[in-house]
Structure 1
């Protein structure tokens, strides 16, 4: 399969399903997706599942779920490396035939001894090329009952370099690069080899990935050149650090991306926040997915590591919650209320969202707040009642009930006006009426604005609870 001569931009995200999709992987996927979208190109999803011991179907599903949740559907794929084994074997056979790869019978112990010898001489530890075929060189006798690996015949002269889209020019001396193994003794191909064949076959033009892959890149370039493929452009994104400046880990929140869904973050907020970790458009902090695609340029990716800030994420999420319609929020929050054993249909949930959304940072906070209206009513504790429902308070509540019953309209505005008139008439401050009202109407001492709460609960429910005291 030859590389395309088309100018269409094609990027890829190629996670290994040895664990869940974490924040660093999600950000890499986002940059590759945004770059393809910006150029009206193609975004490919490839699952690199050749690590049979550690790859799991659950991890594959978690990756697909995360991509779906974040709204980064691929244009092609997912492709699975395990389904491409015949193709890899075909390419290896051709390389053996062409002399760009060779069988190596050195045992792991012998290779380790070579590395030790190099270390002792102050050199970079590496395989010494014992089985590398070269003109005029006699190879050792083939050991009995030993299955060989296949090694790539890496160039030994000159250097391999590229102009990294993010880091700028990078170069490695070929003398420092091993003849790396491209097929194990059982014939299964290795990571660096599969990646090259996949990028070649899938006509990938731009590879954006984490900078932990920088050392793999010269090896992959040399294999691709040996195959006669066209090199993609490479860009290596710096890592994400935790708030303490250390590498992001589980204790910082580097968990399965879907955990952020569980915790009540909006995918659009997550996209916005992840994009700002290492990329910028002037001083813009808040932008839509469409703006990200319109503005995205690899020249605005930073060379330095980004820092994860949970407080900033909460701020971004709060912004998106405020901007969301009450209808949309009600739809997203209803399942979370059910998880809390509440009934989202017990009340006008859209109105509740309108009341709560200006102070909420997550959907879970909205669900917790909505339980005031969606959970079965529980009277305030005897201690709270004894503290706040004295004779004066009961007298105030009786007068409030009488006047509230006569209100022509049961609205927040009408209830607020009634409360204001009563405070003036009885010469008391707000807490003297509001706290007893809250306790009786909701069973709780603290709630959002009492007029709005009473309006949402409805005339019948409020008057029934008032009459009970």
Structure 2
């Protein structure tokens, strides 16, 4: 195999779709697996859809996900520039070649004529595509008119035969040329369409494999025809399966979040999202579901990518994120958690107490946005009791237990883990209660619940006066 060179080529039109993240990831994994190069190319030729700040956001998302590239914005390489808007002269030069060699032609049709043509075709049940009205204009006349009249440039698709696409994932796919539109290659504003720009750039940047979404497969015969017109060897193609909602409709914002930024806002870790997205269409051939990025690099192959659409299961992502929250190094967990506490306005008065809270709720959260709800018990002024908690508080020995603890606490200046341990030993000896009978009434009285974070941590964070307040409330 010649050196593997792949590209991720997004348009800067706003947020980063999870489908785009998967495309970036598969290109990254394929490049790293084969010790190849990953090129980041910004396809910004559609100026009407350009969003200010979208490129910076994209670079931020890739960095957050740990997907580094080898050439592109901020990483100059030998085949730049890597913004298509800075390559317009290159595209115009290649369009001239196509026109001169009868592979393309200028089209002078007005928007009104094209609209009327489409309406008539639709009314007759015909395929809606350009009718070739300007194909027959003699070349010299067309070149003269180009000097004075608004025009686009179209690909001259052969009227007969088939164009075949060999795809690593889908095998051989044939397209009847009579159903392929004479695609616009250069718009009237002088900017190229995706079809021309991506073929020219993929060739000039020596891209060996084009790995992209299935939605581009119907356009690929046009790209193959362009490669043929230029006399170039096409790259190998691999079209990735669609991402689907649980009802198997195409993944869309109408049924839930589709932007990487949305999942970051929910407190999804990059390791979890990358791991989850890797499995949307690919598997190693076994039932392993948790992969580090390095394991993905070692295991990935395009031959293991499925043709069928992949269902985006939010519950599985949430489960996977919970797994990572509980298994990443503690200092990494605390570092992310501290940022989230600050973001959510949660503060127990010191980093030591904040860290205790984070450790206490770690087993219970699946995403960091749940911290507000899961830490609420540390910041209550009055308790609301669950029915099970009321049952424990109402037990015969519970009030005696609470009174003994209150008496013991009066002699203490503060409530630490050591002090609490001594108080509970004393209570056990005085009441004869042990195990659940000792601990559950105390948990119920101080948290209003029968399940939750480790009780000693809760008491330490609440502090002596709050614990005394809640015990008195339980007695009453």
TM-score bracket for this pair, using the shorter chain length = 0.7 to 0.9
Q: Partner residue of 1:197?
A: 200
Q: Partner residue of 1:275?
A: 278
Q: Is the 8 A contact 2:443 2:450 kept in 1?
A: no
Q: Partner residue of 2:244?
A: 241
SS of 2:47 mapped into structure 1: coil
Is it true that 1:64 corresponds to 2:66 in the alignment?
A: no
Query: Which of 14, 18, 21 is the equivalent residue of 1:19?
Result: 14
1:13-92 aligned within 5 A: 13-78=8-73, 79-92=82-95
Report the alpha carbon displacement of residue 38 of structure 1 after superposing the two structures with TM.
Answer: 1.0
Unaligned runs of 5+ in 2: 74-81
1:397-416 aligned within 5 A: 397-403=402-408, 410=418
Deviates more, 1:336-345 or 1:241-250: 336-345
Q: Is the alpha carbon distance of 1:245 and 1:256 closer, same or farther for their aligned partners in structure 2, counting shifts above 3 Å?
A: same
Report the alpha carbon displacement of residue 181 of structure 1 after superposing the two structures with TM.
Answer: 1.7
Query: Which of 243, 256, 260 is the equivalent residue of 2:263?
Result: 260
Q: Is the 8 A contact 2:213 2:242 kept in 1?
A: yes
Cα distance in 2, alignment partners of residues 435 and 111 from structure 1? 74
Q: Is the alpha carbon distance of 1:64 and 1:147 closer, same or farther for their aligned partners in structure 2, counting shifts above 3 Å?
A: same
Q: Is the alpha carbon distance of 1:415 and 1:13 closer, same or farther for their aligned partners in structure 2, counting shifts above 3 Å?
A: farther
Q: Is the 8 A contact 2:4 2:37 kept in 1?
A: yes
Report the alpha carbon displacement of residue 283 of structure 1 after superposing the two structures with TM.
Answer: 1.2
Query: Which of 93, 96, 106 is the equivalent residue of 2:96?
Result: 93
Q: Is the 8 A contact 2:340 2:369 kept in 1?
A: yes
Unaligned runs of 5+ in 1: 1-5
Q: Is the alpha carbon distance of 1:463 and 1:135 closer, same or farther for their aligned partners in structure 2, counting shifts above 3 Å?
A: closer
> How high is the TM-score relative to the length of structure 2?
0.83
Cα distance in 2, alignment partners of residues 254 and 425 from structure 1? 51
Query: Which of 308, 321, 326 is the equivalent residue of 2:325?
Result: 321
Q: Is the alpha carbon distance of 1:434 and 1:418 closer, same or farther for their aligned partners in structure 2, counting shifts above 3 Å?
A: farther
Q: Partner residue of 1:185?
A: 188
SS of 1:410 mapped into structure 2: helix
1:21-420 aligned within 5 A: 21-78=16-73, 79-111=82-114, 124-132=127-135, 146-281=149-284, 282-343=286-347, 345-366=350-371, 368-370=373-375, 372-373=377-378, 378-380=381-383, 396-403=401-408, 410=418
User: How many residue pairs get matched?
Assistant: 455
Report the alpha carbon displacement of residue 360 of structure 1 after superposing the two structures with TM.
Answer: 1.5
The RMSD of aligned alpha carbons is 3.8
Cα distance in 2, alignment partners of residues 144 and 359 from structure 1? 69
Q: Is the 8 A contact 2:18 2:260 kept in 1?
A: yes
Q: Deviations over 1:349-379 (max 9, x none)?
A: 4443333222211122245434555x5x735
Q: Deviations over 1:61-104 (max 9, x none)?
A: 33222222211122111332212212212222233333332222
Q: Is the 8 A contact 1:164 1:236 kept in 2?
A: yes
Cα distance in 2, alignment partners of residues 292 and 59 from structure 1? 28
Cα distance in 2, alignment partners of residues 143 and 354 from structure 1? 70
Q: Is the alpha carbon distance of 1:252 and 1:380 closer, same or farther for their aligned partners in structure 2, counting shifts above 3 Å?
A: same
Report the alpha carbon displacement of residue 465 of structure 1 after superposing the two structures with TM.
Answer: 4.6
Q: Is the alpha carbon distance of 1:272 and 1:415 closer, same or farther for their aligned partners in structure 2, counting shifts above 3 Å?
A: farther
Q: Partner residue of 2:442?
A: 433
Cα distance in 2, alignment partners of residues 72 and 343 from structure 1? 34
Report the alpha carbon displacement of residue 307 of structure 1 after superposing the two structures with TM.
Answer: 0.8
Report the alpha carbon displacement of residue 410 of structure 1 after superposing the two structures with TM.
Answer: 0.8
SS of 2:166 mapped into structure 1: strand
Q: Is the alpha carbon distance of 1:121 and 1:249 closer, same or farther for their aligned partners in structure 2, counting shifts above 3 Å?
A: closer
Deviates more, 1:298-307 or 1:364-373: 364-373
Deviates more, 1:175-184 or 1:226-235: 175-184
Cα distance in 2, alignment partners of residues 354 and 417 from structure 1? 24
SS of 1:7 mapped into structure 2: coil
SS of 1:215 mapped into structure 2: helix
Cα distance in 2, alignment partners of residues 169 and 426 from structure 1? 72
